[in-house]
Amino acid sequence: MEMARIGATPKGGVCRLALTDLDRAGRDLFVRWCQEAGCEIRIDQLGNIFARRPGRDNSKPPVMTGSHLDTQPTGGKFDGCYGVMAGLEVVRALNDHACETEAPVEISVWTNEEGCRFAPGMTASGAFSGKFSVDFALSRADSDGVTLGQALKKIGYDGAEPVGRPVGAFFEAHIEQGPVLERERKTIGVVTSAQGQRWYEIKWIGMESHAGTTPMEGRRDALVGAALLISEARRIGMRPDGRATVGVIESRPQSRNTIPGSVFMTLDLRHPLEAELTRMDEAMRAAAARIAAEHHLEVQIDQIWYFPPTSFDQKCVDSVRNAAAKNGMSHMDIVSGAGHDACYLARVAPTAIIFVPCKGGISHNELEEARKEDVADGCQVLLQAIIERANAA
């Protein structure tokens, strides 16, 4: 709640965009708290912050946990910040109980996760795991032309450490950002995988003509084509763990009595299994081709982005599930529908995510809320999972 004061909005949310002065203030507060907890701070070339609590064997790669401190423009108190604060709480709890771990424990703050100031999001965790080069990440520019590198320098978080190194295990605590845990009345979501995503831009081309004089049979109505695909996409998404969303639609010429001649739409398909996601892609393309032929339309489908499904590490996932079970907490296996820094970390380290419920599943919204007991339970699970992995052979 103290961190949430930095960038607090009148509606109870937080606006703390990546690498702004507010982001610096949040980072400074986090660093101070970690130093007070006895941690050693390191900053890498992308401004990722690592707060290290030594273990018995400091030659071992650290067990790491963390998330991000940047928010959406009308974001909430929990998205990202919870995972960082949970890491701090784990370190404090280890201190309080003078509990020594075999491997060191580190808390990480990943730069520019949200991607709303510098696209794409998860920039710095992506670079840490080798998805992007450091130069690529530094050269991302905001809408004013300021690069990520310039913004880092301006707030004094352009560190010296190289980006990327061995990590023994990575855990991220996060609010679910969806309604499932609340609906199922479970406190802990054991995240087994994250959805793969395919993003498309689809253009329908028909023929503008007069709404009154053009008989229905001869029409080439681009909006009818788009509408039929929206409805087909929904059908294609309606499989276990599937998602299909048309978020953007633009029709031309936007005249009440003219048949639309062209329509642009986006499509977002998600599934945690590669093979299913491929089947969804195929079904969507087949449906679009069938609709186009039936309605004398041309359709262009461009896949503009692909994020493969992530399967989390069996041992890390088990550590999370075991911790929840040992504490008698209600829990369930769940798939992450959103992308998280942990999805990139999973490429280079054994990784898992712990979800806690958020009210109404609402996130990326100033109304975002989570219950104190739930976030505490999430910290408890995180603590035990970290101890288990840090002490594993």
Determine contact, residues 269/243, Cβ cutoff 8 Å. yes
| Alpha-carbon span 103 to 167, nearest angstrom | 10
Backbone angles phi, psi at 339, to 5 degrees: -85, 145
Q: Does 363 bind a copy of itself (CB under 8 A)?
A: yes
Instruction: Supply the minimum distance, in Å, between the C-beta of residue 254 and a copy of itself.
Output: 5
Q: Does 259 bind a copy of itself (CB under 8 A)?
A: yes
From 358, 356, 360, 361, select the one nearest 382 (Cα to Cα): 356
Out of 6, 17, 202, 226, the only residue in the binding site for a copy of itself (CB under 8 A) is: 226
Half-sphere exposure for 286 (CA within 13 Å, toward CB): 7
Q: Are strands 249-252 and 169-175 parallel, antiparallel or unpaired?
A: unpaired
Two structure tokens written together for 292 = 């186009």
Give the nearer residue to a copy of itself in terms of CB position, either 101 or 195. 195
Determine contact, residues 6/25, Cβ cutoff 8 Å. yes
Out of 25, 329, 362, 367, the only residue in the binding site for a copy of itself (CB under 8 A) is: 362
Q: Does 311 bind a copy of itself (CB under 8 A)?
A: no
Per-residue x/- track, 339-358, a copy of itself (CB under 8 A): x-------------------
Backbone angles phi, psi at 8, to 5 degrees: -60, 140
Determine contact, residues 318/169, Cβ cutoff 8 Å. no
Bridge partners (DSSP) listed for residue 67: 109
Two structure tokens written together for 197 = 């995503």
Q: Does 73 bind a copy of itself (CB under 8 A)?
A: no
Out of 35, 58, 139, 231, the only residue in the binding site for a copy of itself (CB under 8 A) is: 231
Place of tokens 């329908």: 204
Give the nearer residue to a copy of itself in terms of CB position, either 215 or 328. 215
Out of 29, 61, 337, 367, the only residue in the binding site for a copy of itself (CB under 8 A) is: 337
Q: Does 71 bind a copy of itself (CB under 8 A)?
A: no
Q: Does 10 bind a copy of itself (CB under 8 A)?
A: no
Kindly state the DSSP code that residue 147 receives in the 8-state scheme. Answer: B
Q: Is the dihedral of CA 281, 287, 291, 294 positive or negative?
A: positive
Using CA atoms of 235, 356, 27, 110 in order, give the dihedral in degrees to the nearest 10. -50
Q: Does 215 bind a copy of itself (CB under 8 A)?
A: yes
Out of 258, 322, 327, 391, the only residue in the binding site for a copy of itself (CB under 8 A) is: 258
Q: Does 264 bind a copy of itself (CB under 8 A)?
A: no
Cα 330 to chain center, whole Å?
Answer: 24
Residue type, 152: L
Which of the ranges 13-21, 126-134, 257-265, 277-285 carries the binding residues for a copy of itself, by CB under 8 A?
257-265
Which of the ranges 4-12, 62-70, 253-261, 382-390 carries the binding residues for a copy of itself, by CB under 8 A?
253-261
Residues 265-304, interacting with a copy of itself (CB under 8 A): 266, 268, 270
Q: Does 213 bind a copy of itself (CB under 8 A)?
A: yes
Residues within the interface to a copy of itself (CB under 8 A): 176-180, 183, 195, 197, 199, 209-218, 221, 223-224, 226-228, 230-231, 234, 237-238, 242-249, 251, 254-260, 266, 268, 270, 336-339, 361-364
